[in-house]
Structure 1
């Protein structure tokens, strides 16, 4: 069973949609374009999570346990599979801590 990332982000750096297409350019100027694969569109999100040191420690433990493994996350487009491809170090701000993470959509059969 796939684990679910349940913490709510305090802010996002926005989302990015990436299309993977196959392009062929011919000498006469004609170009052919087609989607590459069965999932040619994927999404990624840059998140900031803020909370107590204990909460941030739980988030980091979850992400550390899922290096190279997908997890479910409730994105703006629904509950989808993601992996964390980049993570910042926790930054203290008074009694709260913040950590940044980039979630990239993954696909499994």
Structure 2
């Protein structure tokens, strides 16, 4: 199955978080031994928003719903193209007139 590409630009101010997964063993004398939890132990997430006219917001919303938070897709953020999937809720607050905002979280997906 070929992955689709998220082709829309998101609003400035997207927030990148990086979660580092490690195993830690603590000893009684204060010494800790730390190792990586798997080969992909640094996973990025992004909190993003997009403000646009309703037609564009609906197209993005339909794209995200089509993937159901399960199927990853390509996203280019900050000049880097990686695979992500949506995680959590997708919000669509009305701004004014025909202008809406879409907010959602992207979680990096590692492919086999």
TM, length-normalised to structure 2: 0.90
Conserved? CA contact 2:14–2:48, under 8 Å: yes
Contact 1:10–1:49 at 8 Å: present in 2 too? yes
Give, in whole Å, the separation in 2 of the partners of 1:48 and 1:90.
Answer: 11
User: Is 1:98 paired with 2:101?
Assistant: yes
Partners of 1:35 and 1:101 in 2: how far apart?
29
1:13–1:76 CA distance, 2 compared to 1 (3 A): closer
| CA deviation after TM superposition for structure 1 residue 77, in Å | 5.4
Q: What SS does the corresponding residue of 2:85 show, helix, strand or coil?
A: strand
How far does residue 62 in structure 1 lie from its aligned partner after superposition?
0.3
SS in 2 for 1:37: coil
Per-residue CA distance 1:43-83 (angstroms, 9 max, x = gap)? 11111111111111100100000111101000225110001
Q: Is 1:55 matched with 2:56?
A: yes
